Chains A and B, each alone.
Chain A
Amino acid sequence: MGVLFLVVTAGIVLYMMVQGLRYIRPELFVTSPSAGFTESQTGGFLDPLMGTIIVALMAMAIALPIGIGVAVWLSEYARPFALARLVESAVEMLAGSPSIVFALFGVLIFQSPAMGFFSRTTGDGVVYGRSFFAAAAMLSLVAFPLIVANVREGLQAIPGHVREAAYSVGKTKIATTRRVLLPAARPSVVTGAMLGVGRVIGDTAIIVLLLGATLRFNAPGDIPVLDTLRGTGSTLTSFVYQNAPTGEANQPTKAYAAGFVLLTMVLILNALVDIAVRRGRRLSWGS
């Protein structure tokens, strides 16, 4: 059974690697996708690649501080008890929800007039509701439970006497958390963040529904960065989705190339998690 599993996994990775290496060209990284009749005319995946990086950064910018905050609260404070249990199950529920549900909910929220700032509005006041802001906000929900779970686990692995040692030289709980506990839990923070990024860059549903999955960044506007983020775009996942043999564009060579890049990114993230975990194990206390 284990061998079969290994063969299947290795088969997928190897097949994607071989196909990816066959079709990948340096110029794919630096040219934007465009409309065309042959594959030589349709450009590369510069915009989707940038899109992947942008949503990952934005989603983590939201999920990381809140996730660490919630993890610290759950691990170090957790009062009142009932609220802590409630928050705990809410986080677990987020972890178990399919991302398409977040996407649907995001559409509902970001199309409301109050959220007009975060996407573009037509002349007659209809809020488009699809933008990097909208996608990143919902993608942060995908990364959030992984960050909370890992940081919390890291904090709880710190023996109680380490906290008491800090209290015993007159440190407050906040100072102890900031200077002793969080630095000690850094490998777990890195692990949570990396796993979160992995989930974010691999998500397709939210991108298709909330980022618009447009080939190019779509933001004719006056303010350079802000209007790009308020506009639509795509990521490598939606690019693969659209170019897969079953998709509309049917350019499998580009799908393979983009899939290869995506897979490589995820594999690198996994390697980083491994390094973080190993480094964390090297330096710690007896219990």
Chain B
Amino acid sequence: MGFMTPPPVRRLPLSGGPEPAVVNGNGNGAASSFTSSPRRAARPSALALERMRVEDLSIAYGPKLAVDSVSLPIRQGEVLALIGPSGCGKTTLLRSLNRLTELTKGTSMKGRITLDDEDIGTLEPTGLRRRVTMVFQQPNPFPMSVFDNIAFVLREQASRRPKRAALKDGVHDALVRAGLYDEVAADLSHPALRLSGGQQQRLCIARALAADPEVLLLDEPCSALDPQSTQVIEDLITQLREELAVVIVTHNLQQAHRIADHVAFMYLGELVEYGSADQVFHEPREQRTKEYLSGAFG
């Protein structure tokens, strides 16, 4: 990917772990409780490159509308955080980006999603899902060795070829990109399900990266992890945004504040507010955003 050299990311050490996700409302507009948590520099969006575009997207499960005419851009070089209360449609929106929603029975979709100006509905789902990969809430490595988890992605469908030796470099690269290599290098034949939760989740990220995607979707990737693993993964995400577009769904406003460049606040299927993280967190335009950020609901 010919993305120009990114400016150095200023990393601030996080003291301890993230604070509890509950934001105490103080009743005066935007919450200030998490603005005190350290935040790495927001990136100049001039460098960001639009990869995906959601246009007037509506998704319904049967009669129930989950996403209501949402439009937003997804850019490489920045992290987009989807925030909002449970059931607001943010996960559905995320899953529609690699067409996982259509696997659920009774789903109907209106509108358009493009990837590099191509309608993703016209792409082969398997090909699309290699360009737009996803990491889930629960760490879910496949029931095989660390090496095979990555090798499975590098190989064609269920094939056993190419042989292990030929895939060594690819597996190595993916594990290095996910910052897991040093921890597992000693024994790549270790069963993946015996790793710690945080390591499993990074293996899942490595697996998602092994497909060499353009967009990485993360569905609350840290909600099942301890604070330390969370920090490691957040560091990783801020590194990854240089190479690909990252979309993260999170319940944790501190987390969104720490790592997002752009934030989309959704409520009851609607996109209430979309803007740079600074703007949404510090000068929210919409009353509902203010209330959510101050903990009035959610």
Contact = CB atoms under 8 A, between A and B. Distances in A.
Interface in A168-202: 168-172, 174-175, 178-180, 183-184
A161 B138 contact: yes
A285 B203 CA distance: 14
B191 A283 contact: yes
B189 interface: no
A174 B129 contact: no
A165 interface: yes
A284 interface: yes
Interface in B164-219: 191, 193-194, 204, 207-208, 210-211, 217
Interface string B6-29: 000000000000000000000000
A165 B126 contact: no
Nearest to B127: A170
A148 to B, nearest CB: 21
Measured as residues with beta carbon below 8 angstroms from the partner, the interface class of chain B is 20 to 34
Given A170-B127, A174-B157, A180-B143, A164 B100 contact: yes
Interface in B103-134: 103, 125-130, 133-134
A284 B191 CA distance: 11
Contacts of B34: none
A169 B211 CA distance: 6
B133 A168 contact: yes
A285 B193 contact: yes
Interface in B143-157: 143-144, 152-153, 157
Given A184-B143, A285-B193, A165 B129 contact: no
A162 interface: yes
A169 B224 contact: no
B213 to A, nearest CB: 9
A3 B26 CA distance: 64
A171 B207 CA distance: 12
Interface residues of A, number: 24
A184 B149 CA distance: 13
Contacts of B208: 168-169
Contacts of A286: 138-139, 224
A174 B158 CA distance: 8
Contacts of A162: 140, 142
Given A283-B194, A284-B193, A169 B143 contact: no
Contacts of A171: 126, 152, 157-158
A276 to B, nearest CB: 14
Which of A162, A170, A179, A284: most chain B CB closer than 10 A? Answer: A170
Given A161-B136, A284-B193, A287-B138, A169 B129 contact: yes
Contacts, number: 83
A105 interface: no
B207 to A, nearest CB: 6
A167 B138 CA distance: 16
B98 A168 contact: yes
A167 B157 CA distance: 10
16 contacts: A165-B136, A165-B142, A167-B100, A167-B129, A168-B133, A168-B208, A174-B157, A179-B142, A179-B158, A184-B143, A283-B191, A284-B143, A285-B138, A285-B139, A285-B193, A286-B224
Contacts of B100: 164, 167-168
Contacts of B139: 285-286
Nearest to A163: B103
A170 B129 contact: yes
Given A166-B142, A286-B224, 18 more contacts: A159-B138, A159-B140, A161-B136, A162-B140, A167-B103, A167-B125, A168-B136, A169-B130, A170-B130, A170-B153, A170-B211, A172-B126, A175-B158, A179-B158, A284-B193, A285-B138, A285-B139, A287-B138
B71 interface: no
Interface string A140-164: 0000000000000000000101101
A286 B197 CA distance: 10
B134 A168 contact: yes
B211 A180 contact: no
Contact of B134 (A165, A183, A283): A165
B137 interface: yes
Contacts of A175: 157-158
Contacts of B129: 167-170
A183 B144 CA distance: 8
Contacts of B138: 159, 161, 285-287
Contact of B140 (A165, A170, A283): A165
Given A174-B158, A283-B194, A161 B140 contact: yes
Nearest to B194: A283
A169 B130 CA distance: 5
B168 to A, nearest CB: 19
